[in-house]
Each structure stands twice: as structure tokens, then as C-alpha cells.
Structure 1
């Protein structure tokens, strides 16, 4: 394999036969017990050397460690070593029941090299891993151990689970602020974390949505010299940079993540291999008259994601950008919950009214958004998704979805006059989301409703705002919600961004250093007035959502931080909503407490949460 290229990389080891004490495929070997078995090309003496820990040295693992895609008997482990060696490097790893590694469960050796940017990604499916159990892991390289990570496996199929708790987040523009919210997320008591996309941003200084962040967070130059990622080196550079943030590292060290991408892992508002904002490089312009056609760039983005994200998904670079990777997948948590994650970029059709900003944002539309047959999921994924939701035997069916399903309109009177919107007009805020794919949205929700699916919940990021509301079959139906049960397929909870500019910041030309209690005035009032299905809207802060799941109810807690402009922040609960099983009804159960406005002096005394 030379320097550890990607050939065979996604296979790792997959054997489950009980009589096997070890498995080996591609570039990974794994075994139970302490002695290396014969036939692996790892001698007893080499094994002793590979697993000898002389010191804990995080500097040799500059992006720390991560785990993802938990299964009842499996997990994906990830790290990256600091090396410039041209040959193959061997990295050992251990999984144990305790943080001191006194009770080891599995040990293994992986190979890496320059061809995969020295990343190590190990996919474990082993009978030694027990369901719904917490384990600890570490990597060892040349006698140096990484920091210790932790993960929890999924419950066994059919198990009766009384409670799950997870956090979900999205949109973490490194340049726009400090990850103060992630410092708090890392301290939550959770079973796992869901990341709904925009893990990186392909641009470093896009005037449309970036700017005004702390100087220490600036990314001045990409390897290609371009202002946005184009090459594999560019995308790798961005993942390396983002993953040096200590608060992000802490989240990965403490929890397994289930991750999908959105657009910025490739290009803003992308669809398939098309970048709607910028022209492709000369090497990519293989179709005359189509300057935004960028298959090589899409391939680079896919590969970097596959290298740096701990997701157990197949990747085969020989198949081309639309078929080389498939990230939509499902996770079952016993009988309590099934989480279905979809991909809303790689198979979607073009925007219905055009690719330019005025065609997609703050627009009355062109008619095609409502009547066109454009698809966001693509036919194959759509049928798979509907089959999973309709066939699920779990109490709660959750859709991990990148872009907001609910209709989202605003009145012209609530928008800045310089946008030129008539004051009495009612416009779509964003046709890049499901408002631009209305026929498919209705088809999906109507089929779910007709199948009698209950306890259907949609979790979303993307729009950098907190929302709670209803997924309706027909948003033209303006019946009061209490009388509109037959038109409601499920409930929606949207998380705010970690740092990316929220709507109030963008609409008011602000840059985010806002305190709790800021009244965003006409903008927020216009959202709730023009969207009666939206029960709550806030777009003036940053943070994450928590979800508590029991057989009787789900509870969504929205949390926000006081600032992202400084490495110090205070956390508070913004809202708490409850949905009882079988009701499709959102109830506000936020503890009664007056909103508190923090002064700059108080912020200066807030908790130090790193950078």
C-alpha cells in the first residue's frame, strides 16, 4: 500500500464469526487479548513495542481523537498523527472498559501515511463490544499515547430502553467566533451527539456571511491560494484547522458523533457537483458553458470528508463523485428510537428559480418552487427513507435533516428597506431549503401521514436559528393548529448555529456580539406572524439543542451562549418544549424565570471556556 493511500481503506475488518479471535483486512488488524496472534505480520516483539506507552503526548495527535457511528457491537475510531514520513506508519489502538486501560477489550494496529494525510480511521464490529456500554479508547504511536476518548455503544436490537439523551448541533464557522457553546456541550450528560452539517466552511472570508470574527480565528490563506477550497489539500487543511479547536476536540473525546454533511463541506448552496456561487477551476471546467460544474472539486470534498469524519460509510474513489460515497444511513436505539439521517446535497436537483442569491433568498418565488417536480433526496434515497420511517418498529421516528422542512416566510415590512421588497409583500426567506421543493415535501409528509406513522420528529440545523413548529402536508391550509391535526405529519425542532451568522445578524448587518434578551423587533415578530405553524423562533444567539427521549415523551431543550466573540461565555436555557407520545402537540415547558440581560462587566467574569 506504500504510503497508506485509500485503496481498501473503507473495508477495515468486518468479520463477525465467533470462532475468530482476530480480523484483518486492508490496513487494519485487531484482536482480543494481549498477545498478537500469528499470521498478521505483527510479531510478539513488535506488538510489545507498538503498545508500549512511555508518555501521553497530545502534540503527536494534533486533532486529538474522535469516535462515531455507534452500533450495538461497533464503533468507528479516528485520529491523525503528526508525521511527515513518506512511508507507511503503524499506529496502535486500544479499547477498554476503564479510562486507565486496566481492563482491555480490544487491541489493534492500523496503517496510515501521506496518501490519507496521516489520518487513522478504524471501523470496529466485534462481539467483544457489548450493547449500551461505555468504553474508552486511545491511540499509540512510537510510544506516545493520545488523549483518551470515550464512546457508548447502541442498545441491542429490540431492547426496551427507558431513556436516551443526545445533543445536536450544526454550522460551526471557525472564522466567525469561538466555539464557546461546545465547551458546555462537552460537559452535558449524553449518550451521543448528532452533527447536522456545515462542520467546515469552504470559504475563509466570504462577504455574504463571514466577517467580523475575532482576529485570532482568521484563516488567512489556503494551500491553493484561492479564497475558497478547491483542491484536496485545501479541504484537508480546513479539517485540520477546525479540529485543532480544543472545545471541539473535547466534544469528540467524550461522545460518539453521528454526522452528515450540508453544503459548506463542498460549496455554498451546492447541488450534486455544482457550486452555485463560484466558477470552477480551469481543470474542472469540462463542460462548455457550465462554469459552475465542479466534479473534481466535489471529489476532493468527498474524499476529505471520508478521511476526517468518523463515519462508517462506504467510499470508493473509482466510482465518481455521485456514487463514490453514500452517507444516508439509520441508527436504531432498541425499541425506543430510530434515527434516520439523509443526504440533501449529493442527489438534489438545481434550485427551482435560479442559482443566484436573489433567486434563492428573500424572494416571492417564481412558481416552480410550488409546482415543479424537483427533488431534494433523489428517487432512490427518497424510497429508502420512506421505507425506513414507515417500517420502523421504534416508538419515536427521528429524521436527521440538513435543511428546514417547515415553510418559512417573512413580511416585507420586517425587512431592511434597501432590499427593495414591497412592504406588504410576503416572501420566502430561503428557497435552498424545503420551501424550494414543495411537491416532494408534501409527497413525503403525506405518505408518512397516510401510513399512520406516529411520533415522527424532525431535527434540523442549517438556518442558524432556533425554531419549534409543525411539519404540515399543506401550508396553504390556515386552520388553527388545534383543528388541523389531519394536516400535521410531525413536529420540528431546529437548533441554532455554533458560530455561523444568524438571521438577525445578517438582516441587521450586525456581527453577533449580542447579549441575552436582545429584542430583534420586527424581524422575529414577522416570522411568527407570517408562519402560524412556527411556535417559536429566535435568531439572535448561538448554541445547541438537547433531546431527552422516553417512551412517554420527548423533551427538546434549546441552550444558548452569551457570546462567541470572546473565549468566555455564559450558558443559559433558552426554551424547553415537550411532545407527549401520540399527540403531535408541542407544549412549552420552559421553567418560569425572567430573561436576564448580561452586562459587559458580567460577561468579563463569565466562565473561561477555551478557544
Structure 2
């Protein structure tokens, strides 16, 4: 593995999260879905009997403020419960003790109260395969003192792609095994255990929690795919292994939604940010027929995507997104982070059916709403494509002219998926005739990930620019950003807009005083299953380093503008002009 990009950048500080690791609680503990006054707590014991959860305001547990029990009836079925009555913006410590008196400790911080500007730090990633554990790409997360961590979809892979042959997971027992595999110690390391014990999580699904590319809202028999036993088993196992509430939709009047798992969350963190988490898989229509690589079929795909009344989020969820974004704008919340498993940015027609690009009519409805309602500082955060790509988001109401929505997107991950975006898209482009064998050979001959990333950037832009879409990056979009990557002799300033040959995660940090958002993607060189098993010490010793970093200045909220104008003595002048 030759990755010169990493040699230019400072190594990350790795600090292990201190907590006892006892076999009776093999996956450690976890917290999640934190609010201003509550948090969900989780553990899995390999012994039946009661698990006792305790929450305290101090690490020594001298001041316990919440206690509850949960009964283990099946060692492969975790237990969880909600701790409530908590104070906003406070650090808490918790522990789980099982019937053998084995215990494991963790900590979390509740969301800050509305109206406060304390700053915010959170992490995001997605896409990790069990046989590529123990995921050194995230081993610095536990040391970052994050407010929360978003686990985008593909938290397991029901299908194996390398390593020992195993049948596709299709039953509840299969899905539980896969989740346990991801959360288990391997080669003496358990990075997810460290993350989940130190940092509350918000977890969502994509397709591989059930089966590749499923569309939950597609008709099956007299119902929908999300009525099938396979979907129900996959979602049951997912919800069992995540510290989240088990709620279902009711009273929507939509058979796609009613009675189905509700994974939508909208949580405000002070007045710094709103975090919206969606389920872009369970209620979507089936994909369009994929583009076959010809110009004639391109027009067919674009027309169908833009004109057919098809949904990715589902009407119930889409309306909730709009409502929550509008409310946050009215309440003066600075940043609005919209988490969707698949990219919203246009990446070209290849494999577009699975992304929002394949549901263009609904995509336009959402982006035009953001634009027309004046909702500012909206950031789409996505995963699924196994690489980091940054772009502004435009839409076209007439199918010709592109309009800036004012929102932008960053994709993140994968934690570990062989292969990452770079080589995957090269292989796909070659299969569609978009690259010649000589061009593929040239890509493979490039000496560094810096050079390979620029090849991928050129390849993506060659697909999107002729369609009138924006090329990768925020240049020319009007979004006030700064490239924070270092300048390297012989290369110049490194590119912030993509990192497509690494495994990793993305960190978001909001400055409490200025509202500025700094976005940092951490990565390690990608590795294969064969490389991991041949030399596990080499792979597990990899240290995450910065592979993308930039900042974006927040658009001031209306009341912030008023305060600024008042400080300049201009409020009266503005009022007279309006009259």
C-alpha cells in the first residue's frame, strides 16, 4: 500500500478510551439519541438475567441520578432503555452491570438548551464490512470529545464481498450475527466499542442492513417490501443493536408508513445546530432502469427522473424535513444538518438510480423549498459512495437552467469497504465505455493518492459538467469557504474537495463565538481483507490523518444582523428604507 498523501500530513493523536473490557459484556456499552433531558443506553450481556444501568454526574458514581433494569432473555439480543430527567448540556457517566456482576462504563453529554451558543463538535461516517474489522480508520474518534457521532447506513453488510465465504444474511439470527461481528474485538482492538462508550450515537440504515438496493416502498404482493419478513428481521436486528428508540409510524394515512419503523430524528443542539436524520431506504419507490451508457438512454433517464412522481424519502418524511428546517430557521438555529444515506449532489448518470439523482422531481422539490423559503446554512451529509466528495447543490425547475439552492453537501466514509470510491468509479466507468483501457492503465500507474484523486475529480467533472451541473468543490457557488489543506512542495495546496482512496470519517466543528463551521475528514490508506489478515499489526497500527479540511462561514441569522446593525447605528436607516 503506497499512499504518499498520508506522508505529508501530521499523524493524529490516538488516545484509548479507558473502560473495563469484560467478556460478559462483549460489545461494551453505548448511548444514543440524546436530547436536552434524556438518552438511550444499551448493552449486550452473554448471560441471561437482569442488566442494571446507572447514570451519574461524576465518574466515581457518587451521585447517581437515574437507575433502571432490563432483562436479558437471549444472549444475542441486547437490552436498552431510556434515562430521562436529565439536565441540558451536561456530561453524564453511566455503567451497565449484568447478572454476573460484570460491568462496563461509558459517558455522554446531553444536548445544549435552546438559545445557547456553546459550539458543537460531532462526527459522521458510514459503510463498514465485518471482515474488515477492527476499523483503525475511526480509532481516534473516542479521543475527540465529540457531542455525538452519526452512524450512516450499511452498519452491516448482509452480503459478503471478500474473506471467508458465508451465505447472505436473511434471517433474524443472521442479522444479529453480523451486528455482533461488527461490534466485537478483533486483533486486540475494538474501535466501535471505544466510540460507542465515549460518544452518543445517532444511527440510521441504508440498504445492506437488509439486502442490497432494496426499495422499501416498492410493491410486493398485496403490500410493500417493508412488509416482508426479511425487512422486518433486518430492521429488528438493527434496532436491537443500536441505542435508539423503537418507535413506529402511526396515523399518517399512508400504508407505506403506518406500522413501520420510524428512524426519523430531528434534534436541536442549542441554537448552534439542528441535526435531522432520515431514512432514505424504507419508503422509496423502486429505482429507474439504469443508464446503459448511450446518449439516447441518457435522455430517457433524465426525463423519467425529472417528471415521474416518485419518492425516495416518502411524502410523510419529506414534509417533516421541510417543517423542521423551517422551524429551525424561524427559531434562529444557525446550522441545519440534513443526513441522508445517499448523495444528493449530482455525480453523473452512472449508477445514478440509487442516489437522489434518480428521484430528481422530489430532489428539486426539496432544494427549491430550501431556496424559496430562505433557509440558510443547510448542509447535506451523506455516505454510501465510500469516499469524500464536496459540492454545492443546484436544481433545475425547467430541466435546462440550474439554480443555486444555497445548500451544499459532503459525503463521508467508508469506515472500511473494499474498494473505496476511486477504484470503484474507474472500474464502473470502464464497464460503461467512459474510459479506455489506456486511461485505466494510466490511472493505475499514478504514483500517489493526490494524483489519483485529481484523476477521479476530472472523471466526475467530465460526467456532470456537460449536463449543466456543478463540478466538485464550492468554487463559484457563492458559499463562503476556505481551503484549510496544507501547501506541499511540488504539489501546491492540497485539494479539500475529495478524498477517494482512503477509509475514514468526518468531523464537524462549530465555533461558539463566530458560528464558523470547520469540516475535517480523517483517513487511513484503504486496505483489503488479504492485507489485513496477512499483516494485522501493520493495518491496526495505521493512524488517521487529515485528508480533507475546509471551513464555511455561517450566514448570520436575522437577529444577528439586527444586533450587528444596531452596533453600527444603522437600524433606523434600514427601517426608513423599508418604509
TM-score range (shorter-chain normalised) is 0.7 to 0.9
CA contact (8 A) 2:453 2:498 kept: no
Name which of structure 1's ranges 342-351 and 517-526 shifts more when overlaid on structure 2: 517-526
The residue matched to 2:107 in structure 1 has which SS?
strand
The answer for the alignment partner of 2:29 in structure 1 is 65
Q: Are 1:169 and 2:120 counterparts?
A: no
Partner SS, residue 116 of structure 2: coil
Tell me, yes or no, if structure 1 residue 406 matches structure 2 residue 345.
yes
2:315 pairs with 1:379: yes
Partner of 1:124: 83
Query: Counterparts in 2 of 1:517-556, with a 5 A limit?
Result: 517=450, 519-520=452-453, 522-531=455-464, 532-535=470-473, 536-550=497-511, 551-556=514-519
Match of 1:561 among 524, 534, 553: 524
* Contact residue 271 and residue 345 of structure 1 kept, 8 A: yes
Distance 1:77 1:446, change over 3 A: same
> 1:202 aligns to what?
158
Q: Indicate the residue corresponding to 2:385 in structure 1.
A: 463
Change (3 A) 1:502 1:466: same
Match of 2:53 in 1: 93
**Are the counterparts in 2 of residues 322 and 346 from structure 1 also a CA contact under 8 Å?**
no
Q: Assess, with a 3 A threshold, how the Cα gap between structure 1 residues 110 and 496 changes in structure 2: closer, same or farther.
A: closer
Moved more, 455-464 or 266-275: 266-275
- Please give the secondary structure, in 2, of the residue aligned with 1:78: strand
Hey, what's the Cα distance between the residues in 1 that align with 2:320 and 2:501? 37
DSSP-derived class of the 1:383 partner: helix
CA distance in 1, matches of 2:399, 2:556: 20
Give, in whole Å, the separation in 2 of the partners of 1:219 and 1:263.
22
Correspondences of 1:192-341 after superposition (within 5 Å): 192-204=148-160, 210-211=161-162, 218=163, 220-221=165-166, 227-245=167-185, 246-272=190-216, 295-315=228-248, 323-341=259-277
Q: Which residue of 2 aligns with 1:491?
A: 408
Cα distance in 2 for residues equivalent to 1:570 and 1:143? 36
Shift of residue 173, structure 1, vs aligned partner:
1.4
Task: Give, in angstroms, the shift of residue 286 of structure 1.
Answer: 6.0
Is 1:443 the counterpart of 2:361? The answer is no
Structure-1 residue corresponding to 2:423: 505
Q: How many residues are aligned here?
A: 466
Instruction: Say if 1:447 and 1:160 are closer, same or farther in 2 by CA, change over 3 A.
Output: same
Q: Shift of the alpha carbon at 1:518?
A: 5.5
For 1:76, the equivalent position in structure 2 comes to 40
Aligned positions of 1:568-587 closer than 5 A? 568-582=541-555
Unmatched segments (≥5 aa) in structure 1: 1-54, 205-209, 212-217, 222-226, 276-284, 410-426, 585-611
Specify the SS of the correspondent of 1:487: strand
The CA distance in 1 between the partners of 2:524 and 2:226, in whole Å, is: 39
Say if 1:198 and 1:263, in contact at 8 Å, map to a contact too: yes
Deviation at 1:347, TM superposition (A): 0.9
Deviates more, 1:461-470 or 1:141-150: 141-150
Report the Cα offset of residue 448 of structure 1: 1.4
CA deviations over 1:514-538 (Å, ceiling 9, x no partner): 9754525643322134443421233
Which structure's relative contact order is higher, taking Cα pairs within 8 Å and 6+ residues apart?
2
Q: CA deviation at 1:507?
A: 4.0
Change (3 A) 1:163 1:57: closer
TM-score computed with the length of structure 1 as normaliser: 0.70
CA distance in 1, matches of 2:218, 2:256: 14
Per the TM alignment, residue 91 of structure 1 is displaced from its structure 2 partner at its CA by: 1.4
CA separation of 1:286/1:406 partners in 2, compared to 1, >3 Å: closer, same or farther?
closer
Question: CA deviation digits over 1:346-397, x for unaligned, max 9?
Answer: 111111226xx9699xx83633123221111111111111011112121111
2:97, 2:104 within 8 Å by CA — same for their partners in 1? no
- Residues 72-109 of structure 1 deviation map (CA, whole Å, 9 limit, x = unaligned): 110000001103x5xxx211111112222222222222
CA contact (8 A) 1:515 1:563 kept: no
Per the TM alignment, residue 112 of structure 1 is displaced from its structure 2 partner at its CA by 2.5
CA distance in 2, matches of 1:287, 1:139: 44
Task: Say yes or no: does 1:113 pair with 2:73.
Answer: yes
Distance 2:248 2:501 in 1: 39
Q: Is 1:153 aligned to residue 92 of structure 2?
A: no
Q: Secondary structure at the match of 1:527?
A: helix
For 1:241 and 1:338, how far apart are their aligned partners in 2? 32
Take 1:478 and 1:372, find their aligned partners in 2: how far apart are those partners?
A: 17
Aligned counterpart in structure 1 of residue 305 of structure 2, from 369, 376, 399: 369
CA contact (8 A) 2:499 2:548 kept: no
More helix by share: 2
TM-score scaled by structure 2?
Answer: 0.74
- Structure 2 alignment gaps of length 5 or more: 1-18, 428-439, 465-469, 474-496, 533-538, 558-579
The answer for the alignment partner of 1:32 in structure 2 is none
Distance between the aligned counterparts of 1:507 and 1:449, measured in 2?
31
Distance change in 2, residues 1:475/1:194 (3 Å)? farther
Q: Does the 8 Å contact 2:393/2:408 carry over to 1?
A: yes
Cα 1:189/1:581, change in 2 over 3 Å = same
Once the 2 structures are TM-superposed, how far is the Cα of residue 549 of structure 1 from its aligned partner? 1.3
Rounded Cα–Cα distance in structure 2 between residues aligned with 1:389 and 1:307: 29
- SS of 2:424's equivalent in the other structure is helix
- Range with bigger deviation, 383-392 or 307-316: 307-316
Give the 3-state SS of the residue equivalent to 1:519 in structure 2.
helix
Cα distance between partner residues in 2 of 1:538 and 1:60: 39
